[in-house]
Every structure is written in structure tokens, then in C-alpha cells.
Amino acid sequence: MSDLITWFENHDKLAGWAQFFGAMLALIVTYFTAFAPIWRRKRQLKLSADRLLSHGYEAIESYHRTSAHFLPFPLSLRQAAMTMMVMSEEISRFPIYELDDQGSRSVARYLVTTSTTLSALKLFLETYAADLDERIATEEDQEIIRQFVGERLKLITDMLTGVKLERPEWPVKNPAESG
């Protein structure tokens, strides 16, 4: 121990370096302490957004999978529409603009698309339930509903799996044909 003290006494400029490294360590600890809550919040937001996407997908997928096993009737369609509405509202309450990435293939954009798709399904199912007018749907009705829900499910599946989505091309009349 006395050798160490002697060594420190013989190297008097070492105190300046010790102060420098101590100050740097204090700055680094302060930086990480100050930003740790922000980083934790961003990680929690990302995990919550991923969970909401998963729940939205599961709501559509679950209805599509189970709807093959029964003929829908107005009340069952309204219940499915309510499920879609609840998930859409849950996504709408999420603070998507606090997420870091806001690009075209971002979780924020996926949440908006999923919410819109769920709202469209709600509208479709409620309208179809009103059209049934207290009767049980036929197999043809069941197929129409499953096809519509299946197309929306494919859109969400493709989006979440990274398939490049193309904008729809609407039929355009040839100017020569319209005259």
C-alpha cells in the first residue's frame, strides 16, 4: 500500500488526468440517466404499436376463419362489426405521432391502414346486417361476406409481411371510345 502512495506522490500530474476521467464519467452517467426514460418510453410505444397491429390483424383473421363454420345472421354480423369498431377505436387512441418512424412502411402508417380497414369492415358488416332484415344469411351471402373480409385480410397480411403494395389502377376510358 505504501508503494502505491509513493507512486502517486512521484506522479503529481496524474491528478489532472484523474479529474478529467472523473468528469467524463460523470457526464456519461448524467447523459444516460437523463435519456434513459425517453428511450424506455420509445421502446414501450413501439412494443404497444406492434401489439395493436397484432390485435387488429387477429380480429379480422379470427372472423374470417370462423365465419366459414356458420351462416351469419344480423346479430352475429353486428357483433363482428362491434369487434372491428372496438379495435379501430383502440388504434385511433394510440399516439402514433410519437413513434420515431413516420415513413411509408412505418408502424405508424400500418396502424392507420389497419384502423381504416377495420372501420371499413365495420361499415360493411353493419350494412349487410341491415340488409338481411332478421333472416339468416344464405350460403351465397356467407361467401360474399367471407370474400370481402378475406380481401381485407390479405391486404393487412401483405402489409405486415412486407409485400410491396400497389395502388389500384382504375379502369380509364379510352378517349376514342367515349366520342
| Predicted confidence (pLDDT) per residue in 32-79, tens digit | 888 888 889 899 999 999 999 999 999 999 999 998 888 888 889 999
Q: Looking at residue 176, what is its pLDDT?
A: 62
What's the pTM value of the predicted model, to 2 decimals?
0.74
Give the C-alpha separation, 149 to 140, whole Å. 14
**Least confidently predicted of 36-50, 69-83, 96-110, 147-161:** 96-110
**What are the residues whose beta carbons fall under 8 Å from the beta carbon of 77, sequence distance 6 or more?**
125, 126, 128, 129, 132, 145
| Residue extents of the structural domains in the chain | 46-163
What is the arithmetic mean of pLDDT over 13-42? Answer: 84
Q: Looking at residue 178, what is its pLDDT?
A: 54
What is the arithmetic mean of pLDDT over 165-170? Answer: 73
